[in-house]
Amino acid sequence: MTATESTLRPAAQRSGPGLGGKLGALALLVLVLAAAVLASLLLGARNVGLDSVLAALSNVDPADGDQVVVQSRMARTVGAIVVGAALGLAGAGLQGLTRNPLADTGILGLNAGSSLAVVVVVALAGAASLPLVMAAAFLGAALVMTLVYVVASVGREGATPIKLALGGAALAVGVGSITNTILMISKSTLDEFRMWQIGSLSGGSLETYLLAVPVIAVGALVVLSTARACNAVAMGEDTAIALGINVNRARLLGSVGVVLLAGTATAVAGPIAFVGLMIPHAVRLLVGGDYRWIMPASLLAGPILLLLADTAGRLVLPPSEIQVGVMCAMLGGPIFIIMMRSGMKSVKL
Amino acid sequence: MSAIEQSTRRHEPGRPTGVAARRSARVRIAALWMLLVLLATAAAYIFWGRDRLPVDEVLQVLGGASVPGTSFILMEDRLPRLVVGALAGAGLGISGALFQRWLGNPLASPDVIGVGFGASAAAIAAMIVFGVNDWKLSAFALAGGLAVAAVIYWLSASGQRTGSRLILAGLAIGAMLQALIQFLLTQTEVNTASDAMRWLTGSLSASTWERAAVLGIGLGAAGIFLLPVVLRQLKLLELGEDAAAALGLHVGRARVLLVFTAVALGAIPIAVTGPLAFVAFLAGPITAALSRSAIHVPLAGLTGATLVVVANFFAANLFAQINLPVGVITGAFGAPFLIWVLVRANSTGNGG
């Protein structure tokens, strides 16, 4: 009773397009990703030429303004790829493991938990090192995720998508106000977090984003390893158990992976919501309902969304820019409502 | 839908009438205690605010005399704060309780379903873009809240389970409005942003008699002229919309009036104090737990007022040196209560 059409179709339909179609879709995603990377490097308050990009890639000439611009955009481009991949895959994992079409790292409060933990650590330890911040972010995400599940599981129907979404959102508000308290007490922390809290890629350095890569790779592998379990869960928990899938183990493992992905993304770029919601649904249209395809495709599509959102945010109001977190919320809100409306039509959420 | 379940439970045939009498007795007792806490805290705050005032001087001032320093602190700071806080809490509490009763879901309070964010976003936009900073802010907040309520209602209308749909649509709209608010904040200089952020957390520090008057007039008008009608119609709506229509209620008009009243009672305080986190959310469920019955709307108003006055007392005394806005206290101390409300709602099957 908790799944929408998209997650609970007959097996034949669920496989979606044929193998060729799926490979074609992945190839298309790779091409679009390449184009998005290029756009992110070329466009902005100051547009640069392709030759400057190529020159800057090999060896930056500090005297050439265009090349310096490219270099500064390099960091946020890498950031968008890393964070987008993490959030897209985290969303796919959450949706698959909980059979919940409304799952997202933002909606379920994971981002808010990470933010709180990061703010606490920075307020207590001053300028904290990135590994410490990341560890705090994992812990915060894990705690909130556990809490949201425990709270939503109370009652007869168990953790339904709507209970999870409502509980997660309400807890996110609560956790957010504790975060605000700490920011209010410490003015210096407030100044440091004003931009970060919105979800922005403009502040991070290339080193920060590159440091996040190994953690995200581990998280991605863990989440990808649960793809088969997600497919089985999509057919109903009882069916999954009958198929010999250890659902609880898969959920625990997947949750660890999701927390690694979401926590790292929040630690480096701040809380960005709705990416994890939008990407798996968009990808489903391309590759069908098989999580062994949805997950890798989300890994490619997440960066595309973040790159385009970040680039668009730079182009809308030059010379100032709209943070990527704001762009994603503006884009994701309507999509969430559309999902909710179509989901409610077919199934009681 | 849980509202119907609730109301059928309440209107079970053959129930002894003593139950209703005992319930209203419990509501009265809860109201009495709440009033006692409110008055005791208010009295304590008069003496122990940010700094302690000598008892004899306070009594002199209250008796009409003028004592340098003490007079000013009392008449220009503490008393307006108490009045604004109590009025704002009452408005928010009633607003939340109306939404929660109507939708039969404790999570349906205006601070969760985006109506509060609508009021905040409109007020912030008015502050930053148009430089408004007086009673007109209330009009902006009200307009913003109403616009968001209309959009959410339109998005969730048609079909079953309007309550859950409305809450989810509100969540999404709320997230978008929050992003808009944050964007507006980054577009201003740091000082304006810091002021706006303080306001966004909910603060009584800018309380004046003038603002208390704005609040009193706005809330009084809605509370005296609209609320009694709305409460009467709400009882019918809770029987189910078909039953209400059969009993001669114009359901569409009743709903519009209810939403307008609830949004007005919530948005007018937001314009003055900023959104005091969780007051609208918690007042209703606390009331229900104390009186062990459905949410009693006027009692929720009293509870909201008490919550804000108590939070204000703690804000002044717990971290006196930091000058913490009261919304931070209601937010931080409200978070654990939030979990309690969620667990309570889910275990009775009201969580969605």
Q: Which domains does chain B have, with CATH numbers?
A: 2-347 (1.10.3470.10)
Nearest CA to B291 out of B17, B23, B85 is that of B23
- Band (pLDDT 50/70/90 cuts) for residue A86 is very high
B247 Cβ neighbours under 8 A, 6+ residues apart: B236, B239
- Specify the length of chain A in residues: 349
**In the predicted structure, residue A71 carries a pLDDT above the cut 90:** no
φ, ψ dihedrals at B48, nearest 5°: -110, 80
Residue pairs between chains A and B whose CB atoms are closer than 8 Å: 160
Interchain contact A313–B (C-beta under 8 A): no
Q: Identify whether A146 is part of a domain.
A: yes
pLDDT, tens digit (0-9, with 9 covering 90-100), for A2-31: 444 444 444 434 556 788 888 888 999 999
Q: In this predicted model, which residue has the larger pLDDT, A61 or A20?
A: A20
- Band (pLDDT 50/70/90 cuts) for residue A92 is very high
Interchain contact A332–B (C-beta under 8 A): yes
Q: Check CB contact under 8 Å for B352 and A322.
A: no
Interchain contact A120–B (C-beta under 8 A): no
Q: Give the tokens for residue A162.
A: 């709507």
Q: Identify whether A4 is part of a domain.
A: no
Interchain contact B187–A (C-beta under 8 A): yes
Supply the pLDDT for residue A124: 82
Neighboring chain B residues of A153 at a CB cutoff of 8 Å:
346
Interchain contact B245–A (C-beta under 8 A): no
Chain B residue with Cα closest to A158? B346
Percent of chain A as helix, strand, coil, to the nearest 5: 75, 0, 25
Chain B residue with Cα closest to A334? B172
B188 Cβ neighbours under 8 A, 6+ residues apart: B128, B196
Nearest CA to B110 out of B260, B236, B253, B254 is that of B260
Q: Identify whether A57 is part of a domain.
A: no
Contact in structure between A83 and A215 (CB atoms under 8 Å): no
Interchain contact B328–A (C-beta under 8 A): yes
Q: Which of A154, A167, A333 comes nearest B176 by C-beta?
A: A333
Residue with tokens 């995200």: A216
Supply the pLDDT for residue A60: 67
Supply the pLDDT for residue A114: 92
Q: Check CB contact under 8 Å for A323 and B186.
A: yes
Interchain contact B348–A (C-beta under 8 A): yes
Low-confidence ranges of chain B (pLDDT < 70): 1-17, 157-163, 190, 320-321, 349-352
Neighboring chain B residues of A177 at a CB cutoff of 8 Å:
201, 277-278, 327-328, 330-332, 334-335
Q: Indicate the pTM of the whole model.
A: 0.82
Q: How many helices (H) and strands (E) does chain B have?
A: 16, 0
| A321–chain B nearest CA distance, Å | 9
Q: Domain range spanning residue A182?
A: 74-346
Interchain contact B224–A (C-beta under 8 A): no
| A12–chain B nearest CA distance, Å | 31
Interchain contact A198–B (C-beta under 8 A): yes
Q: Identify whether A21 is part of a domain.
A: no
pLDDT, tens digit (0-9, with 9 covering 90-100), for A199-254: 888 877 888 888 889 999 999 999 999 988 888 888 877 888 888 888 888 888 98
Tell me how many domains chain A contains.
1
Lowest mean pLDDT of A112-121, A138-147, A193-202, name the range: A193-202
Neighboring chain A residues of B154 at a CB cutoff of 8 Å:
none
pLDDT, tens digit (0-9, with 9 covering 90-100), for A165-200: 878 888 888 888 788 778 777 766 776 777 777 788
Q: Check CB contact under 8 Å for A151 and B346.
A: yes
Interchain contact B182–A (C-beta under 8 A): yes
Q: For chain A, how far is it from start to end, CA to CA, in angstroms?
A: 7
Q: Check CB contact under 8 Å for B338 and A162.
A: no
What ipTM, to 2 d.p.? 0.78
Q: Check CB contact under 8 Å for A151 and B343.
A: yes
Q: Check CB contact under 8 Å for B180 and A180.
A: no
Contact in structure between A274 and A328 (CB atoms under 8 Å): yes
Query: Considering just the CA atoms, what is the radius of gyration of chain B in Å?
Result: 20
Q: Identify whether A5 is part of a domain.
A: no
- How far apart are alpha carbons A234 and A227 in whole angstroms? 11
Q: Identify whether A173 is part of a domain.
A: yes
Q: Identify whether A251 is part of a domain.
A: yes
Chain A residue with Cα closest to B169? A337
Neighboring chain B residues of A272 at a CB cutoff of 8 Å:
none
| A326–chain B nearest CA distance, Å | 5
B25 Cβ neighbours under 8 A, 6+ residues apart: none
- How far apart are alpha carbons A101 and A95 in whole angstroms? 6
Q: Identify whether A50 is part of a domain.
A: no
Q: Check CB contact under 8 Å for A330 and B346.
A: no
Residue A239's CATH number: 1.10.3470.10
Supply the pLDDT for residue A343: 60
